[in-house]
Amino acid sequence: MKKRSELLREAIEEMIAVGKLAPGQHLDETELATQFGVSRTPIREALIQLASMGIIVMRPRRGAIVAEISPQKLIEMFEVMSEIEAMCARLAARRMSPADHAALLAAHHACEEARNAPDPDEYFYRGETFHQCIYAGSHNAFLIEQARTLHRRLRPYRRLQLRVHGRIDKSFSEHDAVVQAIIEGRSDAAGELLRDHIMIQGHRFTDLIASLSRISNQAA
């Protein structure tokens, strides 16, 4: 059974991922304790865990804030994420079992159903499951651990870029091409397709930065 602090960490992390707590926003321990109906001790433990993951920043005598990432570092992190996911896709194309294929197809179909859901975050959640299937399909425990760690760090930004008009439909089309390449065992193609799917460049990066500026102004 998970400790209370771990459950609180997951809840606060989710609030950050879906934009309820914006980059740079102050995290008041007393307010969070009241919101969750707990003492400040497990809240503090949860914040320490989030700080160790790089999701928040603990500042001496000034409290915690949601971590902010500079545009340059964001590009660098997505570059690394795209290479890690490309490696997962290449290995998945070579190593996935029929059961793995079935799980991937089920996750892909769930994404298709979520494309027109009233809540745009429904596709975000289904997409996370889709990517987790590819990580698992690599059958490389260390790689899976690294992919999940960086995925978690970039969750708020992956969600935001899906808010750009038309991005969800484009994302699903990219997923479809990745699925076909993996199932057909075309490892190099699967890697290239997933790398391009993750990497943010040009208009996609400009749109993401504009979204970040908008929510930062709302939080101010």
Report domain extents, the chain.
Answer: 4-66, 71-219
**Per-residue pLDDT at 74:** 86
> What is the pLDDT, as a whole number, of residue 118?
84
**28 in Cβ contact with 34 (< 8 Å):** no
CATH of domain 71-219: 1.20.120.530
> Do the domains spanning 4-66 and 71-219 agree at the CATH topology level?
no
What pLDDT does 146 receive? Answer: 96
- The residue ranges of the chain whose pLDDT is under 70 are 1-2, 201-203, 211-220
Q: What is the pTM of this model?
A: 0.82
18 with 122: CB under 8 angstroms? no
Class of domain 4-66: mainly alpha
pLDDT in tens, 204-220: 777 777 766 665 555 55
Contacts of 46 (CB under 8 A, 6+ apart): 5, 6, 8, 9, 12
- What pLDDT was estimated at residue 87? 98
pLDDT for the residue numbered 212:
65
Q: Can you list the alpha helix ranges (DSSP code H) found in the chain? A: 4-17, 29-36, 40-52, 71-95, 98-114, 121-137, 141-161, 167-183, 187-198, 202-219
